[in-house]
Amino acid sequence: MKIMNCPLNGPRNISEFVWGGEVKPMPDETKLSDREWAEYVFLENNTAGVVREWWCHVPTSYWFIAERNTITDEIVKTYPASEVFKSRVDFAGAKP
Amino acid sequence: MTAEMNWGGTNRLPNRGALIDRSRPVTFSFEGSLVEGFEGDTIASALCANGQWMISRSFKYHRPRGVLTMIGQDANTLVQIGDEPNCLADKRRIAPGLVVEGQNYFGSFDSDAGRFVEWVSKFLPVGFYYKTFHEKRSSWRFWEPIVRAMAGLGKIDPHAHHGYFDKQYLFADVAVIGGGPAGLAAAAEAAKAGGEVLLIDENPKLGGCLNYARFDESGEAACKADGELLNAVKAAGNIRVMSDAVVTGLFADNWIPVVRGNRFYKLRAKAIVVATGSIEQPAVFRNNDLPGIMLGSAAQRLIHLYGVRPGKRAVILTANDDGYAQAIDLLKIGSAVATVVDLRADPPQTALSKAVARAGITVHAGSAIAEAYHHGNKEHVVGVAVAPVAGEGQLSDPTASYECDLVLMSVGYSPAAHLLLQAGAKFAYSTASHMFEPREIPAGLYAAGSVAGQFNLDQVAAGGRRAGWAAARHAGGTVGAEPAEVSDPGAAQQTHPWPIFPHAKGGEFVDFDEDLKYDDLINGIADGFDNVELLKRYSTVGMGPSQGKHSAVAAVRIVARETGRDLAALTVTTQRPPYTPEKFGHLAGRIFDPERRTAMHHRHLELGAQMMPAGIWWRPAYYGPKAEREKAIREEVNAVRNDVALIDVSTLGGLDVRGPDAAEFLNRMYTFTYAKLAVGKSRYVLMTDQAGVITDDGVACRFSEEHFYVTATTSGVDAVYRSMLQWNAQWRLDVDVANVTAAYAGVNIAGPKSRQVLQRLCQDIDLSAEAFPYLGVREGTVAGIPARLLRVGFVGELGYEIHVPYGYGEALWDAVVEAGQPEGIRPFGVEAQRVLRLEKGHIIVSQDTDGLTNAWEADMPWALAKTKPFFVGGRSTQIMAKMPLLRKLVGFTLDDPALPCPEECHLVIKGGEIVGRVTSAVNSPSLGKVVGMAYVHPADAAPDSKIQIKIDGGRMIEGRVVKLPFYDPEGKRQEM
Amino acid sequence: MLPAFLPTGLLKYGFLKKYPAFRYIPKATELKQHYDVVIIGGGGHALATAYYLARNHGITNVCILERGYLAGGNTARNTAIIRSNYLTPEGVKFYEESLRLYRDLSQDLDFNILYSERGHFTLAHTDAAMRTSRWRAEVNKHLGVNSELIYPDEIARLCPSLNMSDDVRYPILGALYHPPGSIARHDAVAWGYAARAAQMGVEIHQQTPVTGLIIQNGKVKGVETPRGAIGAGQVLQAVAGMTSVVAKMAGFKLPIRTIPLQACVSVPLKPFLDQIIVSGSLHVYVSQSSRGELVMGGSTDPYGLYSTRSTLDFKEGLLGHMLELLPMLGEVKILRQWAGMADMTPDFSPIMGLTPVENYYIDSGWGTWGFKATPVCGKTMAYTIANNAPHELIKPFSYERFLTYSQVGEKGAASVGH
Amino acid sequence: MALPKVFAHNQLRRSPIYRETQKAGAFPEVVNGGAVPMHYGSVESDTLVGARMGIADLSVLPHTGFKGAGTIEWLQGQGLSIGPDSNMAFRQEGGELAARLAPSEIFLIDSLAATGALIQKLNGAWGWGTEKPRKLIGYPMPRQDSHAWFMVTGSAAPEMFAKICGVDLRPHKFKLGQIAQTSLAKMSGIVIRGDLGQVPAYHLLADIASAEYLWGAVLDAMGEFNGRPVGLAALRQLAEG
């Protein structure tokens, strides 16, 4: 059983977590063609190597980010999502 | 001999047997006859003590098999014990009344009809089943049952039920696996750093080989080392010893399963010392599988651990000093040693070999056993032929033959490296020691003792100390100076490079489990399977119950030679967990399967509800006996339509969405718009994923500017909650989302008379249609309980959903039931609710939608906001709008009253093609006709279009598309 | 009648002095400068494609490049279940053709793949599972595939070993019964294809990884290997478990996540379970092999990984559920566990055919359902390569379907690894 | 033999496992509008058992929670002392525990005296502000009803937990007041170490809808230590030492 070091709860068995897949920041949909949008929705890098991923600690429903090597399964580091998503996101037309 | 001596078998030795307690006789049965042994005996030792040498029948040829290792590393002693098949007789200790039976025989154990297979064995070459039986399709149909019937070993008891197994987590700073000299030294040294040390050993007594092996003529060396090492372990206060405990694997981040009794431990250690020792390897010669032929270490175990005489007259085949030690062991118990056959051309003169010479025992140097002899039934070895070694694997004609009832094989070892290999360690074959040796070991893992190629006792102890020291340091302990290394001249003399001697008449077993002979491997290679892994799959070498512990190395050697490849470049086949077989029961343990019950759960049971699972919740399907299902559902529906009834809706998901951005957040998560939803009002919510697929629905209730209470489907809410949190981790809106599903119990009181019932319980809310209209939401008290009230229309009648804190749920239920007596209120279940909502044309996500349904197919464009800049799945939904619609969800009815109601998932057919399916259908009690929803071809989606439905028996019936809802289209009743 | 069945093929082994070896897998030769078709990957699909290229289309200047040993990837690691009871018409037609080819494959290849009809039961423990089972049964029947939704009494009659009691957490409400469901010796399928393809001139090179692709203005020209570059007219990638990595060399991404799928076997037992039992709700499936081993598996691992390491929690979860279905197995023992790498697609259907690169073809997205498709993949991919146009049966499985929102939803029929 | 005078089903607020404790022979008293088992026949024997291996149902005792931006500041403003570390529980003057589940989330459980004073005060004090823009003070959480509350006591408790929980809860590894939000018998739960005098003891807070399941799983795990349910009175005795 792997150990995942949760930024909130510390090292835990990885069975306490769910995998959220690769961090794939959403592009500005107003600037994409239909096909480009479909590519964003469906295509995966599926990288063999170190990947930045979403993980959620189930007992606390806490989402964070882990950098994991998908060949060795080594978890390189983990940190709060706020270190990547630093500021409020608004969409054109939406009032803040 | 005294009476006590006589007990426990005629082969029982006086004054020996470290593991048995002669004061405690034990009687058990084997194949129906009673056997006497002592407490501490294994089944095998007790049987040997009583002269029962054949313990099992081999897998393919049903040859008699006996003790090989006496430590459970082989499959020669597999027996059946009650409902436990494939039990290792040389590991399992006897108990009073234990009923032991042989396995894998036809007719009787002693004269097994299955032996015929060997008579025709020359017609059954390696992989024969690939080469024939397929002349016609029917050929294999004929032969397969015959082949299949021969398969397998132990039997299943179809009526058995698994016993009580459980699990426990363990934690340690340093775990030491193996309680032999290396493990003892490692534990003692690691303990000095003060951390928690866990010493795990598979035997009942610590000490490993020190309990049976001989390192000098007098045998004192072992005793001395044993004493010192054990004392050091006992002296340390921080070493926990687990005996009789088997480590079956080594998984990521030092995660270790340990089996002891009926408990399965899972150990997490900061550092691990693997001191699992090595596995003595058999020699390959004709009839090397006969009972009475065993590993030298097996004989020593019988003598010293169990006080059992392995034989009266022995021939010892050796290639190292251990064979001479075994000769001395045999002499000391008064057995004769006919000869020592040494594979080495000129064995080094050692203290032990000199002692053997002094005893006047002939030594055949540079010789091997050409074949072993037996009587007709093959039940025991009776003699051997000895021949000089002429070259690698080649023998000259035999020069001598000896009668004997015991043959010991002591020709070398292979590291018990399974755990290290599982953990990713790299081993390579050393042409110096002729063994695989560790080259690369992952951080936090340390190897000591013979698994690491250390054999000399001083070197083993030093290796243990060094590994224990390194482990303690890795675990963060404060350690002193690194213990010194001791070099070992001996290791190179332990293992012979080629103890394999094919015979013209065959019968030289390389793999005992699978009855594979030398030629089978040679021929497999000749067939083109010249890679170790391919040969394993083609010949099945190493695939038996002992997973190649005695055949893998021989197989690699043979492949290397046959293909002219360098042994050092080859590895044994992948070592997969478990190291020794684990019971299903161990792995299952206590089966933890959490379930959720609503506050009213027991009330439903008291009312005779049939419960059904909904996610991990239990919900009442309907109330009444199974036999009266239809009647019960119909009556429950009628109660809602005509009077009043209540349903437990506690399992409905509930989310509190609060904060300045609450409305904006819902706008992004759902397809509708919520910014302008008035306080005190509710609105439908529909959720789609990034691909525009419908994933959930519910209602959003606005209790204040900044507070929405959003419902979600029972099985969907956890995913909805999780995705909300994940999205807002990216958006950073000023909103807080809380999953309060379990915190609120919910009751929906529905029916034309629901208002008058509720009025009796609710004073502080004006329930009148004007003050509290349809789709309104209020907060107040019901029966003195703080409550959230929702006027929702899922079932299409006047109704109130009452949400109260869980702790009050049962009291609320009791109060409503009580208050509704005058109206004859009754409970209704999920089945009736499904009928009611279908009559109203409401979809159930995941029943009326599937993994690909989008809002256009579900015909819900009305739920899509036109003006919002964004919602999850919005762009994909727009893209799909431009594409041809392939199916559409519609309501339908059957005009011909004689037609049966279609089942859910009956197909909708157009021009012979499948265009859709019925998602819901019911013979509506309220409308007196069949109504349903189905996916149809878009061309047939308009009201009054005809559709063809294929029902049971392939019959086609005609349905007519009708506008939804079926019941009360104007919605007057729910808005009363 | 009986003589017809006598395994006369075995007589020679008994009577000949010297073992009459037949080299099924040819010795490796030198690589040529150029092949008409280079196939990346030496698993069942690749070997089958080579076989049908040679047999059906006369294309024999073909070279198979396997980075490890022959059929040592998922072909060696799957649990050998064959069935066609899928959910979508596209899927059902495709797998039914595979089943048809499998039935005669031993004769076709003159190599016994130990094909054995056992009957396949997909147990339903919930309403939703019952609906999906009926849906599959109805689609199957409409397309002439033998499937039926059956109820507990009949299940009990057909598989007496199952625990049918009502007082368990997930009582069995019904099952999708698919009599043609079969098992076969997975390795033998690959070996048989290899042997016959080789006899027709196909070259098989083991221990030869492809390290790069030679692509000129959108057209594949060859591949690079540690043994040198090779020219190729056409190139097929059939590398389950490494699909995205190889596709990346060709310069395109796929809707695939690579996730381990684990399995295990028990110590051999006397035959007692003749059927293939699958439970989606309990995430388990089990059948008993011709060796007497129980072959068991479940759903894919909880997260993506390019590794075939085993985990303990897989076994713990699997056997907990196994004992709910077959409570008499508590004392039975696990012998060996292993893992393969499954290329999971969003709709649980494969991705086959042409790619954005000219003359470069893909056979991928085989998730947990690759073995059962081996013959039909070989046949249709061979056709696709020979005609540079997708075979009718695989048109629905094109890479393009995702970019045009026209997926083929098989999740309901394929979500448990079987 | 005396019989109980108070019955859980006569109260508005009911513990999710009141049937279980009733079967076990609980003698309840009314606390916080519900019935809490005070003892199971004899406080003395409960106390002896509790020192070795016991479990108590405190679900009806007052507990609540607050979360969201501004929570900690607001609670501190209300006089609570809350330390900087998440996953630590901070003892208040009245013996209540403020369990900091996350930087801006508090789960508040009452003391064994169960006066409910602090919790009533806070529940009363919280309200949406009228100022614009509204000052962020976090949001109340319905913890009283989202979570069942058990207390597991006794010298064998750590080893019992090792049978259902993968986190090392042994006293020398899991300090007083430390919190583990983790998986117990395959369900999510919160464990807070809160010894009773010298006796190791742990608060166990978990999904109220799975309370009967968890109660059963813990009793099963307690079996080998001869554990059984004990009443609130015994906990108070042990706390006094």
Instruction: Give one DSSP letter per residue of B65-102, joined into a string.
Output: E--SSSSS-SSTTEEEETTEEEEETTTSBP-TT-EEE-
Residues, chain A, total? 96
Per-residue pLDDT, B1: 35
Neighbouring subunits of D (3+ Cβ pairs under 8 A): A, B
Neighbouring subunits of C (3+ Cβ pairs under 8 A): A, B
Q: State the best of D146, D179, D182, D214 to mutate against chain A, taking most chain A CBs within 10 Å.
A: D182
Q: How confident is the model at residue A93 (pLDDT cuts 50, 70, 90)?
A: low
Q: Whole-structure pTM over 0.90, yes or no?
A: yes
- Does residue C417 have a pLDDT over 70? no
Neighbouring subunits of A (3+ Cβ pairs under 8 A): B, C, D
**Which residue among A15, A39, A48 places its CB closest to the CB of C245?**
A48
**CA distance readout (Å), D133 to B660, D128, D129, D136:** 9, 11, 9, 9
Strand partners, B745: B804
Q: Which two tokens stand for residue C171?
A: 């009582």
Closest approach of chain C CAs to the CA of A50, in angstroms? 11
- Does residue C414 have a pLDDT over 80? no
CB D178 within 8 A of CB D81: no
Radius of gyration of chain B (CA): 39
Q: State the best of B171, B587, B690, B734 to mutate against chain A, taking most chain A CBs within 10 Å.
A: B690
**Which residue among B124, B165, B252 places its CB closest to the CB of C10?**
B124
Closest approach of chain D CAs to the CA of A18, in angstroms? 13
Per-residue pLDDT, C4: 53
Distance between CA C355 and CA C400 in Å, rounded?
9
Per-residue pLDDT, D1: 56
CB atoms within 10 A of CB B452: 27
Give the mean pLDDT per block of 10 residues along chain B (976 residues).
56 94 96 96 97 94 96 95 94 97 90 85 86 86 87 90 94 98 98 97 96 93 93 96 98 97 98 98 98 98 98 97 97 97 96 96 97 94 98 96 98 96 94 93 97 94 97 97 86 90 96 96 96 94 94 96 90 85 96 96 98 95 97 98 98 97 97 95 97 97 96 96 98 97 97 97 95 96 96 92 98 97 97 97 95 96 92 96 96 97 97 97 95 98 98 96 96 91
Distance between CA B672 and CA B683 in Å, rounded?
9
Rounded to two decimals, the ipTM of the complex is 0.96
Per-residue pLDDT, B136: 85
Helix axes C89-103, C374-387, angle to 10 degrees: 100
CB D57 within 8 A of CB D150: yes
**CA distance readout (Å), B62 to B77, B105, D184:** 13, 7, 49
User: Which backbone phi and psi does B756 adopt, to 5 degrees?
Assistant: -65, -30
Q: How confident is the model at residue D115 (pLDDT cuts 50, 70, 90)?
A: very high
Buried b (16+ CB within 10 A) or exposed e, C54-66: bbeeebbbbbbbb
Per-residue pLDDT, A96: 36
Closest approach of chain D CAs to the CA of A15, in angstroms? 9
Q: How many CA atoms, within 13 angstroms, populate the side-chain half-sphere of residue B381?
A: 32
Do the Cβ atoms of A70 and C304 come within 8 Å? yes
Within an 8 Å CB–CB cutoff, is residue B125 touching chain C?
yes
Q: Which residues 838-857 of B are in CB contact (within 8 Å) with C?
A: 846-847, 850-852
**Which residue among D14, D168, D212 places its CB closest to the CB of B810?**
D14
Q: Looking at beta carbons, which residues of chain B come within 8 Å of C346?
A: 691
- Does residue A95 have a pLDDT over 50? no
- Does residue A37 have a pLDDT over 70? yes
Distance between CA B687 and CA B846 in Å, rounded?
12
Q: Which residues 99-128 of C are in CB contact (within 8 Å) with B?
A: 103-104, 106-107, 110-116, 126-128
Q: Which two tokens stand for residue D31?
A: 């606390």
Per-residue pLDDT, A92: 75
Nearest residue in B to D208, CA atom:
B742
Residues, chain D, total? 241
Nearest residue in C to B505, CA atom:
C17
Distance between CA B227 and CA D107 in Å, rounded?
56
- Does residue C294 have a pLDDT over 80? yes
The DSSP symbol for C110 reads T
Distance between CA B892 and CA B928 in Å, rounded?
14
Q: Which tens digit of pLDDT belongs to each residue from D79-106?
A: 999 999 999 999 999 999 999 999 999 9
Strand partners, A67: A52, A77
Q: State the best of A15, A26, A32, A84 to mutate against chain B, taking most chain B CBs within 10 Å.
A: A26
Do the Cβ atoms of C112 and B134 come within 8 Å? yes
Do the Cβ atoms of C253 and A38 come within 8 Å? no
Per-residue pLDDT, B137: 85
Show Cβ contacts of residue B840 under 8 Å, excluding neighbours closer than 6 positions. Answer: B793, B794, B795, B796, B965, B966, B967, B968
**CA distance readout (Å), B100 to B34, B45, B66, B88, C268:** 10, 14, 15, 11, 18
Within an 8 Å CB–CB cutoff, is residue B585 touching chain C?
yes
Show Cβ contacts of residue B56 under 8 Å, excluding neighbours closer than 6 positions. Answer: B65, B75, B76, B77, B78, B79, B89, B102, B103, B104
CB C237 within 8 A of CB C250: yes
- Does residue C214 have a pLDDT over 90? yes
**Which residue among A21, A38, A70 places its CB closest to the CB of C306?**
A70
Do the Cβ atoms of A91 and B870 come within 8 Å? yes
Do the Cβ atoms of A62 and D86 come within 8 Å? no
CB B843 within 8 A of CB B858: yes
Q: Looking at beta carbons, which residues of chain A come within 8 Å of D181?
A: 9, 57, 59-60
Q: State the best of C306, C308, C315 to mutate against chain A, taking most chain A CBs within 10 Å.
A: C306
Q: Looking at beta carbons, which residues of chain B come within 8 Å of D220?
A: 590
Do the Cβ atoms of B162 and C309 come within 8 Å? no
Q: How confident is the model at residue C46 (pLDDT cuts 50, 70, 90)?
A: very high
3-state SS track over D86-133? CCEEEECCCCCEEEEEECCEEEEECCCCCCCHHHHHHHHHCCCCCCCC
Nearest residue in A to B720, CA atom:
A61
Within an 8 Å CB–CB cutoff, is residue C244 touching chain A?
yes
Do the Cβ atoms of C330 and B529 come within 8 Å? no
Per-residue pLDDT, C415: 52
Count of CB pairs separated by less than 8 Å, B with C: 297
